[in-house]
Amino acid sequence: MSRIKAGLTGAAGQTVEMILAINPSSNISTGGTIVLEFPDAEDATWCRTEGSLTITATATDPAADLSGTGWQIDSALPGTLTGACTQGSGVGTVDKFTISGVGALTAGTTYGVKIGNNLGVIGTAAAAGEHAITVTASQGTTSDSKSFKIDLLTDDAVVITATVSDMATVDCTISANTVNLGTLFPGGTYATGSHTITTSTTSSGYYWAVYGTGDGSTDAGLWKSTATTHLIQSGTTATLDLTNASITGFGMTLSDPDTAGSAVVTTNFVDTTAGTFGTIDRLFAGAKMVLYQNGNQLSGESSTVTYGAKASAAAPAGTYQETVYFVCGGYY
């Protein structure tokens, strides 16, 4: 049976088909019938609607055909086959499926036939559990029958579900790749320049870290590579207060992208004190985290990165440059 659930009516989504494999113990001449009879107390459940059935001879049953065994279907049921479904109507009458026009059957040969809906509609008994069925092949006085039970279930289907989820992502954007601090005067006041970084993530958080290149050996900072060489050093302290007349150097700050939200600017790099900048180090090994968020992000967030630099009185004139590398990642 294609379905073993109790109470199927044969309606849309409840179609029941059967494949019968019959191996007669005696020869049956052509023109015979095969009849399936169902329990007397289950009238009008196996034959839900009376009428013709679709009968298809088959030599295979991919669900139950055991190749190379006594349960292998040897041949398609021969004959000019027709079928009908009739209902029992009280004690002593039963639901029947009758296949007519069966050709000659040879004892010991297993024949296959498929039974399906046509005008007649196949269903199943209302109650789960065992149900006795009798199959009889006959022609004239020759009759060969066998009874067996099938077990109907309350439900024969297992529903498998799965959820395909988008992988968490972090999108990081830098608004500009060059920043000009303008002109610094030796021993003068500090100068600033800025751009923005923006983060959008579906992960459990994000971070930004930075490191510089400086003079290539000593420290990060604005480096004049031509004679006379000179480094406006980022410095060895955590922060630089460039409003202090005795302090020079290079550093940066970041604005809080969500104020009261969960994004956090690392302490040394907050922009709440004018003129005070966090210092950076050289190379990836010296990278410093400047901004992070430990938690889900509802929307894209932007932070303003401000660079500050102040030249000492001894700084020679010329062009100075630092390359700051940004590292952005996510917490997954």
For 86-126, the pLDDT digits (tens) are 999 999 999 999 999 999 999 999 999 999 999 999 999 99
The distance in angstroms from the start CA to the end CA of the chain is 49
Q: What is the pLDDT of residue 298?
A: 63
Last residue of a domain, one of 106, 122, 152: 152
Q: Which of 152, 180, 209 is the last residue of a domain?
A: 152
Question: Is residue 215 domain-shared with residue 272, that is, in the same domain?
Answer: yes
| Residue range 255-264: mean pLDDT, rounded | 87
Predicted confidence (pLDDT) per residue in 24-58, tens digit: 999 999 999 999 999 999 999 999 999 999 999 99
> Domain range for residue 75?
18-152
The domain that contains 203 carries what CATH number?
2.60.40
Within 13 Å of residue 105, how many CA atoms lie on the same side as its CB?
31
Question: Is there a cis peptide before residue 276, judged by omega within 30 degrees of 0?
Answer: no
Q: How many angstroms separate the CA atoms of 273 and 92, rounded?
A: 100
Q: Does one domain contain both 117 and 202? A: no
Is the pTM of the predicted complex or chain greater than 0.85?
Answer: no
Minimum mean pLDDT range among 75-79, 110-114, 168-172, 310-314: 168-172
Strands (E) in 46-190, as ranges, are 47-49, 51-57, 75-76, 79-86, 96-102, 111-116, 121-122, 129-139, 142-152, 170-174
Q: Is 10 helix (H, G, I), strand (E, B) or coil?
A: coil
| Residue 282 in tokens | 């050289």
pLDDT tier at 64, thresholds 50, 70, 90: confident
Domain count for the chain, please give it. Answer: 2
What pLDDT score was predicted for residue 61? Answer: 75
What is the residue type of 29? S
Does 164 reside within a domain?
no
Which amino acid does the sequence have at 279? T
Do the domain assignments include residue 179?
yes
**Exposed / middle / buried, residue 10 (Cβ in 10 Å: 0-12, 13-18, 19+):** buried
Residue 62 has pLDDT above 80, yes or no: no
Same domain? For 181 and 141 the reply is no
